[in-house]
Each structure stands twice: as C-alpha cells, then as structure tokens.
C-alpha cells in the first residue's frame, strides 16, 4: 500500500506570509500515459467536510483562489499558500489516488502566528 507522509504536522504563519506544506508518497504516483500525478489536496475547516483544492498535483479546482498552488512530481509534492488569509486557517490533507487502496496524509494544521 502507498503511504502518504506530510510535513510539518502544524505550522503558524503570519497573515500575508507564505505557507508551505509537503507531502511525500512511498511510491511513484505519476501516471505515465497522461503524465499526471494522481495527487489531490483538500482543506478542512473546523466542523466542516473537506474541500477539494488541487488535483493532478497542480490543477486548481474551480473557484479556488489563486493563492493556492500545488507542485511536485513522482513522490514529492508541495501545497503553497502564497499569502495567508484568516480564512485559510484549516487542516490540509494530501491524497494519492494512483492506486487503491487510496490514502490520505496525516494532515497539516495551519494557524495564524
């Protein structure tokens, strides 16, 4: 089974500053036939279900602000919030869907410094 490991577990960032979350897959998740990495990123605010932010490692879901960006390929991926806003306080999860069983990372909690 593929294991997803996120780092850090939590981070505190000042408003307007950059937040960077890392996600490492135990196996390659690049689907060679279409050159897409099967990685999604979700945001979960307190008391709410997760919300899809990014898919194929770097494609923003419709309606997601452009301060959210995803990058990486193969086994190493990053979610970046370029200028943290108060409404971005949440737990962020990566997910691999390259092969079942699908797996989520353990989550990264983003707070305001």
Partner 1 sequence: QITLKESGPTLVKPTQTLTLTCTFSGFSLSTAAVGVGWIRQPPGKALEWLSVIYWDNDKRYSSSLHSRLTITKDTSKNQVVFTMTNMDPVDTGTYYCAHWAYDDSPTFGVTPRGFDSWGQGILVTVSS
Q: Which residues are near partner 1 by CB under 8 A?
A: 1, 34, 36, 38, 40, 42, 44, 49-52, 55-56, 59, 61, 93, 95, 97, 100-107
Q: How far is the CB of 17 from partner 1 (least distance, A)?
A: 25
Q: Which residues pair with 91 in a beta bridge?
A: 44, 109
CB of 12 to partner 1, least distance (A): 19
CA 19/CA 31 separation, integer angstroms = 28
Residue whose CB is less far from partner 1, 48 or 66: 48
Element (H, E) at 82: none
């Amino acid at each position: 089974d593929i294991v997803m490991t996120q780092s850090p577990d939590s981070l505190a960032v000042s408003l307007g500053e950059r937040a960077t979350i890392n996600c490492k897959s135990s196996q390659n998740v690049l689907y060679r036939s279409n050159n897409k990495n099967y990685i999604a990123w979700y945001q979960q605010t307190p008391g709410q279900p997760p919300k899809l932010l990014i898919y194929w490692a770097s494609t923003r879901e419709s309606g997601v602000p452009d301060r959210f960006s995803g990058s990486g390929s193969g086994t190493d991926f990053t979610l970046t919030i370029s200028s943290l806003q108060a409404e971005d306080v949440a737990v962020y999860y990566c997910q691999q869907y390259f092969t079942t069983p699908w797996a989520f990372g353990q989550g990264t909690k983003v707070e305001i410094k």
